[in-house]
């Protein structure tokens, strides 16, 4: 039965099944470093900004599951991280002492989140307040301002 808020509370029941770190499939010989250029002073919220991209797909068959897709995504992501090592890196304060941020390719990996929710894709897409529901669907941890080197910069989430 639908709730008065068109099913948005169902999205609250997002259950994290697995949290994995996906590293490049081979060790990276050269570890590139790139400065992060920000127009705002560091510390004014730069650590709480992120881009969420949601892609929806229907299963081709009953045997097709999010776990199969997550396995495929993990393998593909490992190859992509080898080609673009900065995606598997972490933030750190520059060594020159000025506190500037830089991304260091350290093979820390991207985060792959497998989640489950108790609403079908069709029901989700029919929600009147889908934008609010989408915001609740994404699992994300902000970057730790004091120890950014421990926070992944790149997340992929597969939700069944």
What's the rounded Cα separation, in Å, for the pair 119 and 136? 13
Q: How large is the average pLDDT for residues 117-124?
A: 82
Q: CA 78, 84, 87, 88: dihedral to nearest 10 degrees?
A: 50
What's the Cα-to-Cα distance from 13 to each of 8, 88, 122, 131, rounded to whole Å? 10, 29, 17, 17
Domains and CATH numbers, the chain: 8-159 (3.30.559.10)
pLDDT digits (tens, 9 = 90+) for 91-107: 887 776 566 778 888 77
> Residue 45: is its pLDDT beyond 70?
no
What's the rounded Cα separation, in Å, for the pair 86 and 99? 20
- pTM of the model as a whole: 0.72
What's the rounded Cα separation, in Å, for the pair 130 and 48? 23
Confidence band for 3, pLDDT divided at 50, 70 and 90 = very low
Which span out of 3-12, 20-29, 129-138 was modeled with the highest average pLDDT? 20-29
The CA-based diameter of the chain, rounded to the nearest angstrom, is 60
């Amino acid at each position: 039965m639908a709730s008065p808020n068109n099913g948005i509370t169902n999205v609250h029941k997002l259950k994290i099944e697995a949290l994995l770190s996906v590293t490049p499939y081979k060790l990276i010989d050269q570890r590139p470093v790139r400065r992060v250029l920000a127009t705002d002073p560091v510390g004014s919220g730069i650590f709480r900004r992120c881009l969420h991209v949601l892609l929806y797909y229907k299963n081709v068959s009953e045997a097709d599951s999010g776990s199969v897709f997550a396995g495929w995504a993990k393998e593909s992501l490992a190859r992509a991280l080898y080609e673009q090592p900065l995606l598997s890196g972490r933030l750190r304060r520059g060594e020159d002492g000025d506190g500037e941020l830089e991304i260091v390719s350290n093979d820390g990996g991207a985060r792959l989140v497998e989640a489950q929710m108790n609403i079908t894709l069709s029901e989700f897409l029919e929600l009147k307040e889908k934008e609010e529901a989408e915001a609740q669907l994404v699992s994300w941890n902000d970057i730790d301002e004091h120890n950014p080197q421990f926070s992944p910069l790149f997340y992929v989430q597969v939700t069944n």
